Amino acid sequence: MVTGVVVGPLLNEKVNRWQWAGLSAGFLGVVFVVADRIGGGTVAVWWAYLLPFVSTLSLTAATVYQRSLEIKSPEGFLPVMNNLAVQCAATAIVLLPFALSLENMQADWNAEFLFALVWLTFVVSLGAYALLILLIKKCPATRVASLLYLSPPVTMVMGYLAFGNAVTRNGMIGLAIAAVGVFWVHRSETKRSGEQ
């Protein structure tokens, strides 16, 4: 939603009413999926709920900034591998002090751990961010941001397939609503591109 608000003045990308409807539906779908997971008998400190919010705002700012670089200088766009190297280095600089001070830096090197390590490193981190960078290079920012609405529903389905986590009725409704919302954003953009 924030991306839809800022792309007009910052990137000169227009968001039409169908895209706004899609962004709103995607947000509502995420609310349905996440609502069942909040609470769940566990009590979290209040600031823990701020972390996903700050993370989302940071990703929004990065998406808009990266897209603005692409618009200003397409030939000067940092190659994907270089971009990933910069992101990994910046992340290490920020998080390594916390890891060293809060963790024991030991691991149980078994097959499950190695699979999780490879999956998180190459698929979830490098693969996902490489795909995000390529999408930002090729697509308007609102279209890219709308795909993030699919993260909670897809995570819910993957949790069911991998770990047998419960899939609730609200979760399935949320998945459907988010998918429709993303479809509206992308369909509207495709139609507009075809008209130009």
Q: Is the pTM here over 0.85, yes or no? A: no
196, pLDDT greater than 60: no
Q: What is the CA radius of gyration of the chain?
A: 19
Alpha carbon 160 to its chain centroid, in Å, reads 20
Residue 76 has a pLDDT of: 62
Mean pLDDT on 119-141:
89
177, pLDDT greater than 70: yes
Residue 183 has a pLDDT of: 95
Residue 185 has a pLDDT of: 93
Q: Over the chain, what is the mean pLDDT?
A: 86
Q: Give whole-number Cα distances, 74 to 6, 9, 67, 71, in Å.
A: 21, 20, 10, 6
193, pLDDT greater than 60: no
Residue 49 has a pLDDT of: 77
66, pLDDT greater than 90: no
122, pLDDT greater than 70: yes
Question: Which bin fits 73, alpha (ψ -120 to 50), beta or left (φ > 0)?
Answer: beta
C-alpha 196/C-alpha 193 separation (Å) is 5
Domain boundaries, the chain: 2-195
Mean pLDDT on 36-55:
75
